[in-house]
Chain A
Amino acid sequence: MRDIWSARGERLLAAGRFAAAGAAFAQALKRSPGNASLWLRAADCAFLSGKPRAAAQAAAKARALAGGPDLLRRELQARLIAGDDTGAGKVLASRDLPAGEAAFWRGVLACRAARWVEARRCFLAAVSSDPERLAVRAGLFAAWAGHRAAGVKAAPKARGLVIAGLGWKRPRQATVGAFDALFSCRSLFVVANTVDDDMRDVLSLFRATVAAVVFRGTEAEADRAAKSALAAAARGRAGTVTRGNPLAYGRFAARLVAAAWAKGIPVEVLPGVSAFEGLAAQVRPAPGEPLGLQLRGAFTADDSDPARALSAFTPTAAAGRLRLAKALPRLAAGRTLWWLASEGPAAAEPARIAAARLAADLRAGPAPGILHATPRRRAR
């Protein structure tokens, strides 16, 4: 019986039905209240449903049952995201964490209190620690704390909507502007298919309440979240967090911008590094190749200059196959960056096969272009 509810919870969680998944895990926990993994799943569901306090309680329960540094980190993240700095401080003080990891979390707490010099010192103390994931994150956060310690000129507006991208490879490609703006927000709306450890660490830095997690591809949920975000932005300063550049092929952000303009709500868009910029950094242009870049969507007429780099995006496998066949000579000449985003696991497969075939063809070329395939989740 336990396995049925647990399996159901996993299915619903993967489909982005966070509240229903939470209810299924609650049923599983009635039968197995001592199972730390189930409590952790319950914490995930509560957080993704926009209930950070319930998430913190469930994460604390999981840690109390099983212990260990991973669960301790999850509890710290959950408490900080829920705004419980005092509780997080107590957990940190009472546990015997490795020195590097303890320094990292002291840095996070110092950031939240805007004690930038102390935060930078703590993060730098964690830069050479294990695991490497933590060390890298510490280096990035130290860079931000150092930037804040050096002084930021612009004072944040009292109300309005911040739309910030954290980069194609987040959080390393997040900008100081995005972090600065999100730090000044009172509430945050996270647009993501899933919220992983990277994202939880980033959200731990900011004092804002995480009001909702928007599962990409679900229109009704996106509409509800857009309305909530606009209402929050009319009252105070609200932020939405996405991957990449929010307006480069981002429907949710585009919808938000249009709605905010219509309601007279100030909008601040902070671009993150997008996929086309990430791919362009991997190409070594030939001597004499003209500077600049052309971006084209799936259904735009291709009137681009053949001598200049082109970056093209296709949201469906079918459109991708059609456009890729035409693009092959340009890809082989090294002037095209191309990425596919397919609409679901089944649709993604032909795109992956097409991408693999083209990549194999291109490997023989002197200066191959770049092809990147990103599977997307299917909309409910």
Chain B
Amino acid sequence: MINEMAGLLVVCGIGCDPEREVTLEVLAALASCGIRFAHLPARHRSWLASRVGNLKAAKDAAAVVHAAKSRRVGLAVWGHATITSEFAREVLNAASDAGVETAVLASISPAGHGIGAAARALGWRPDEDDGWDALPAGEVPEGKRKRPLAVFDAEAGVVRLELPENNRA
């Protein structure tokens, strides 16, 4: 639980649609940190700051890790830290090299977001054996879709959903 986390560097995904998808655990953890960094598009950063307090723009992994050597530091990234954020991965690797303890808080990924959003807006028929793919923009293979796909751009903070033609209500 939050009070038990030993890590000095808490890496938090804020989901793909933060105003709905940020978790209570992430808000509580960020609010409790002495320094908060954000690697987020501007619109998400200002919204999150209204919930947890000031956020510094995180541009350099080494600076984030350096700050975490002496204090409890939070880092907010769009989406899910280990699935969508190259920056969060860079910070985690740098922290590991520097011997700084870390904790990663789970959040909603483009696949989880897509599963909810597709049923909400597109009339997708959920089928547990369909499977889902979540791929970065620019790495999507050409051709017909076999299963639903969430294409994400973490820098812009957006997800586009593509459903197979035969899977609409």
Contact = CB atoms under 8 A, between A and B. Distances in A.
Interface of A: 132, 135-136, 139-144, 146-147, 150, 153, 167-169, 171-177, 179-180, 245-251, 253-254, 257-258, 261, 267-274, 276-278, 280-285, 287, 289-300, 303, 308-309, 313, 315
A136 B83 contact: no
5 contacts: A139-B32, A143-B25, A175-B20, A281-B80, A294-B131
Given A251-B128, A273-B108, A297-B131, A143 B24 contact: yes
A308 B105 CA distance: 21
A257 B134 contact: no
Given A271-B113, A296-B131, A171 B24 contact: yes
Contacts of B126: 247, 250, 253-254, 257-258
A142 B116 CA distance: 26
Contacts of B15: 175
Interface string B110-154: 011101110110010111111111111001000000110000101
A144 B135 contact: no
A280 B131 contact: no
Nearest to B128: A249
Interface residues on B, range: 35 or more
Contact of A295 (B31, B84, B132): B132
Interface in B72-108: 80-86, 89, 92-93, 96, 104-108
B120 to A, nearest CB: 5
Contacts of B162: none
Given A261-B123, A281-B106, A172 B131 contact: no
Interface of B: 1-3, 13, 15, 17, 19-25, 27-28, 31-32, 50-51, 80-86, 89, 92-93, 96, 104-109, 111-113, 115-117, 119-120, 123, 125-136, 139, 146-147, 152, 154, 169
A66 to B, nearest CB: 29
Contact of B19 (A146, A177, A289): A177
Contacts of A168: 106
A289 B119 CA distance: 30
A291 B136 contact: yes
Nearest to A142: B28
